[in-house]
Chain A
Amino acid sequence: MQERVESQSLGNEIRDKVVSEVSRFVVGREKETEILLTCLIARGHVLLEGPPGVSKTLLANTFSRCLGLEFKRVQFTPDILPLDIIGGFVFNLKDREFEFRKGPVFTNILLADELNRAPPKVQSALLESMQERQVSVEGHTEKFPFPFMVIATQNPLEFAGVYPLPEGQLDRFMVKLNFKYPSVAAEASILERNLSDIEISEVKTVLTRDQLEELVKQVSQVKVSPEVLAYVAKVAEATRTVASLALGASPRAMVQLLHCSRAKALLAGRDFVTPDDIKEIAIDVLTHRLTIDRTAVTSGRSGNPSDILMSILDRVEPPR
């Protein structure tokens, strides 16, 4: 019992430390930082969507540095090959045999920049390895280090030369975060901070690997009451019956929502999930998995999945 209380306060303490350290370098992205940490301990991956220059890469870089984790960045282009990401066998002239050379995916945090620029074959190779947390090439299987998290970015405004991720692939991301332009106050603060040089190497490590492992272990021990489970099931059912959506949330999506909520509860210093945890994270976890019914849009109903999901969440009564 004492151990459990300690790990709850550890979650709370680590969340505050990480958010505070990242905010020294990235202005106005406290909520996004917290969600990245939530996803990391829930063993999920994150898709960041937003126009260029809104600190997506800076956030990913700062975040991994303050956790003391290895970070690699891959810029996706239309001519990239699966082997460039996952690695492959190369002939070693000295030993006169083939040996497996690991690709950049073998890291703790991989920033997959502009993922939608890569051809479907590469996207598929990366997304499959994300799911399995290992790579298999010609019968040789290599596991990824712990922890492993992909932070992918895509620019929603580009249409030429891009390969949009299909629904099935989007489903592999636990969370999709929409990066908007900063507020006027945040923008002023960014400008002021950039008057002096920002040295990313000054980011302090605020978490040990043991602490991280402990947090990941504790997530699966966070309690979810039967009433909260029933509430999640009711939300799922509502997404499948609402007229504006052609495709509602899948059972896999709801499992991810629940897992993410458990991580969120742990970071809030609790060992149980509340309906507030579910509601606060639902938009980020579910929106990219919903498919709008185009006929509903033409008949004048809302075509924005997050608006539709919000109205569902406002309708479904949680246990109080």
Chain B
Amino acid sequence: MSIERGLEGVGTWLDDRFHGAKGLRTFFRKIFPDHWTFLLGEIALYSFVILLLTGTFLTFFFQPSMTSVTYHGSYVPLHGVRMSEAYASTLNISFDVRGGLLMRQIHHWAADLFMAAIFAHMLRIFFTGAYRKPREVNWLIGIVLLTLGLLEGLFGYSLPDDLLSGAGLRILEGVLQSIPVVGTYLAYFLFGGPFPGHDIVPRLYILHVLLIPGLILALVTAHLFIMFHQKHTQMPGPGRTDRNVVGAPMYPYFMAKTGAFFFFIFGFLALASTFAQINPIWLYGPYTPTAMSAGSQPDFYMGMLEGALRVMVPWEWNVAGHTFSFNVFLPALVPLGAIFTAAAFWPFIEQWITGDRREHHVNDRPRNAPTRTALGIAVVTFYGILWAEGANDILADHFAVPLYLTTRIAQVTMFVGPVVAYILTKRICLGLQRKDAHLLEHGVETGIIRQLPNGEYIEETRPVSEEKRAALVFRSKPPGLPSSGEEDENGVPAPEMRGALGKVRARLYNIVTESVELEPSHGNGHGDGHGNGHGADHAPAAVTSGEPTGTGSGTGEGDQHGS
């Protein structure tokens, strides 16, 4: 009772000053839809929080300095070795600060998890069409966040100035130098003169601990506020429409669940950092431009860029005293740049093709948008091949494949693979749609064989559950091209469909909207028909998102099947 009164007292005190009761009540009752894929963004968010916590700890001990020192710390094998203060202080964190190694390893694992979660989250958003209106801006913020994450990670693992990360910086320098016209200057300005210089670690440090995390924090805040304001999307299901949001309230459900999730992620990262060594810089040794070990790999999120550099042919032009290093700047800038650019434009391209300007809050199941899904898988395939090529020396070694063959394979499959993936994915999606249509039409096979009075054997089917049916029938159909039905009496198409661009759009429209048609009765009507026919009881509002055309014809067909 006293706690109650105390809380009320605090609440009143705050409310007198901030007028919070109404807003906070709305906040507490805010509905969060549930689906396991909605956790991917949370993983990224909490990894980021953990990165901030562990990163702050590391800054207490790390010296971002390239001043040369001779090591005399606790790690005996490196005694007397010349190294930068950055490397020496990283050894110090690992061997002379209690919990230092754990914090370093959690920081590194969390960075990898952060990037992996962003990738997975982004794929989820893409494949379920959650980037559609009104969420285009959040999609763009997400792409910027991913780019910032890549830079943040690259700069972060370059800080210890070990042999591996130094090689990464050397590659960065080479890539900068290859950029036409300004490249040499960019490299000299970033490194403060010739490579490696004494400036790069302190400069990357301040970018890594202040500028980029600040930008990420600001954009994450915007990302969350927009998500919060627009309310989360939901997966198709019973009672879920584009005009509502179904789920559990923020308080206490979502708060408890998301808090638990934070602990899980922290616990998982602690577990990984206890048992799985990551970035053991004491084994790599300090950076020296004269040495390099075999099997050097960047962190996984840079692997695609690394693979692109490896797969490229030696193509370089010398024109009028200037060098075009196509072998470097093309693979460094084009493949990933093209993917990000295409991703940024895709929501608007799709909108232009389909003419769909409506708000979407119920996500698509990937199979119900076969062209989008196929495009996505094609890009994933392209990315994946270059990513694997980024580790081709490891793959060649592990699987005893000739090294050069792995590159030759990648050179071919990076072009063929996406096409094959596109075709296959589209066929698979359409096949899955047919399976769904079949389920809706015939119900679930029960395995019960029954003999009819006339001697015929039939297998009994059970109508799909209400929940599943609601998920299966949901399709977000585009509104249709203006040309269909909007030609005037002389057969002149609508203005936006005229000309070459209009024809292209019409063709693209047909590709993008290719889909297996559910029979009109698969909305409300068919479900009821089946249900009645088999005597199963069926909730009256089986499908709230049902097609308006469904009810009429459904009953008749249902009777036919049921008898």
B is bound to A: no
